[in-house]
């Protein structure tokens, strides 16, 4: 299994354990977490069988696919009358943890830019720094998407 998928499975277990231990929060039905794990397992199988991007026009990142899977389970849970709807915080906690890696990368990238250009940010408000990091993260995502698309197009041409 790809490293990021292992981390996500561990994250799902952590969120489930936190949900079960928190007396102030309604405990989500375990089947919700099983559905999310099943979505991750589907991704893992696609990775192993090299089927991740087949038949698509635009490549998608693994993290985007994981987010989509979590959102799909959330919607499925809301519609299923046989399973109590899980607290919103369960899905929000999972999505926050999925988004941590890109946020850490953006933070490290901004720090590197500040150091390389010897910028004095001491007078900037922390909110301004967070806005810069968010923009950097979005710009990096867009740039990575463009490169992924270009590489994907080349791969399709060689088939």
Predicted confidence band at 1 (pLDDT cuts at 50, 70, 90)?
Answer: very low
- How confident is the model over 29-68, as pLDDT tens digits? 999 999 999 999 988 888 788 776 665 677 788 888 899 9
- And the tokens for 104? 């850490």
Supply the mean pLDDT for the chain. 89
CA 118 to chain CA centroid, nearest Å: 32
The string of pLDDT tens digits covering residues 130-146 is 999 999 999 999 999 99
Choose among 1, 14, 2, 3: nearest CA to 94: 14
pTM of the predicted model as reported, rounded to 2 decimal places: 0.78
The residue ranges of every structural domain in the chain are 3-157
Q: What is the separation of C-alpha 79 from the centre of its chain, rounded to a whole number of angstroms?
A: 23
Question: For the residues of the chain, what is the DSSP string, one character each?
Answer: --HHHHHHHHHHHHHHHHHHH-TTSPPPPHHHHHHHHHHHHHHHHHHHTT-SSTT-SS---HHHHHHHHHHHHHHHHHH-TTSPPPPHHHHHHHHHHHHHHHHHHHHHHHHHHHHHTT---TTS-HHHHHHHHHHHHHHHHHHHHHHHHHHHHHHHHT-
């Amino acid at each position: 299994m790809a490293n990021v998928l292992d981390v996500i499975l561990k994250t799902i277990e952590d969120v489930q354990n936190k949900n079960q231990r928190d007396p102030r929060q309604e405990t989500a039905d375990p089947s919700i977490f099983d559905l999310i794990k099943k979505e991750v397992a589907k991704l893992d199988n696609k990775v192993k069988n090299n089927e991740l991007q087949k038949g698509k026009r635009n490549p998608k990142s693994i993290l985007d696919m994981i987010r989509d899977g979590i959102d799909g389970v959330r919607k499925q849970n809301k519609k299923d009358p046989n399973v109590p709807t899980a607290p919103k915080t369960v899905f929000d906690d999972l999505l926050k943890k999925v988004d941590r890696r890109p946020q850490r990368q953006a933070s490290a990238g901004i720090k590197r830019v500040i150091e390389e250009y010897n910028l004095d940010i001491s007078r900037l408000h922390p909110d301004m720094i967070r806005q810069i990091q968010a923009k950097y993260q979005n710009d990096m995502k867009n740039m990575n998407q463009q490169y992924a698309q270009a590489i994907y197009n080349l791969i399709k041409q060689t088939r």
